Amino acid sequence: MPDVAALALQLGLDPGSVALRQALTHSSYAAEHGGDSNERLEFLGDAVLDLAVADFIVVNYPDFNEGACSVLRSRVVNEDSLASAARDLGLGEYVRLGRGVVKERGDERNSLLADTFEAVIAAVYLERGYERAQELVVARLRRTIVDSSHGDTLDAKTRLKRWAETQGVGAPVYEVTSSGPSHDVTFLATVSVGTLLVSASGPSKKRAEVNAAAAAWEEIPDA
């Protein structure tokens, strides 16, 4: 097994970091040899990752609404992307596993690698603070965030607004009216953007606006 001190230095931790060694201790190893496993650090690291990625998204994607931000974060903070980040750091070579898990090649499992990455993020957070932990998260996940921010991650209103900005036609303007009894109101939204004037209905003001934006998007040639 490689010297953990080298990994510690790469992460900006002291070579003898106690938290890092715990982060690299799987429960199977702890059961055989005693000591604390990385399970509690996984729990903490999961929360730090969520906050770090959400922080980055809010700062760097000001046009994303809450829904788009949530979708983007879920596409970044998941088992596959975290396992990929763990492989980039070579964590599979450092994690301490019980004999049975070693035999089953557990160091190649996405789930185990993702959990280990979370635990390592927690170790950095505990020993170097949130800013350093976020720097590490962003450094390892930035490409995934950027790649995941395109396409259908954006909701219809955000997509339409961005298109309008690139065309220089001004922001979309929405007008909403309602009709029907109080227990069954229908909302009609009309969006005006450039030369387009499109209407769509929905069970709420927000949904009607989203539907109108989606309808307008369909009217844009080559969109």
* Confidence grade of residue 183 (pLDDT, cut at 50, 70, 90): confident
Cα–Cα dist 83/114, whole Å: 4
CATH number of 4-151: 1.10.1520.10
Per-residue model confidence as pLDDT tens digits over 45-95: 999 999 999 999 999 998 787 777 887 888 899 888 999 999 999 999 999
Q: Looking at the chain, which residues constitute the CATH 1.10.1520.10 domain(s)?
A: 4-151
Segments in 12-155 forming alpha helices (H) = 18-23, 27-33, 39-60, 66-76, 79-89, 91-94, 99-103, 110-128, 130-148
Q: For the segment 134-178, what is each residue's pLDDT rounded down to a tens digit? A: 999 999 999 999 988 876 556 788 888 888 998 999 999 999 999
What per-residue confidence (pLDDT) applies to 68? 79
Given 42, 118, 127, 155, which residue is catalytic? 118
User: How many other β-carbons are positioned within 10 Å of the β-carbon of residue 36?
Assistant: 13
Q: Which of 46, 107, 115, 209 is labelled catalytic? A: 46
Where residue 102 falls among pLDDT bands split at 50, 70, 90? confident
Six token digits for residue 110: 């996405």
20 exposure class (CB count in 10 Å sphere: 0-12, 13-18, 19+): buried
Residue ranges of the chain that CATH labels 3.30.160.20 = 156-219
147 tagged catalytic? no
Q: If you classify domain 156-219 with CATH, what class do you get?
A: alpha beta
| pLDDT for residue 3 | 83
The per-residue pLDDT for 71 is: 79
**DSSP-derived 3-state class of residue 200:** strand
46: annotated active-site residue: yes
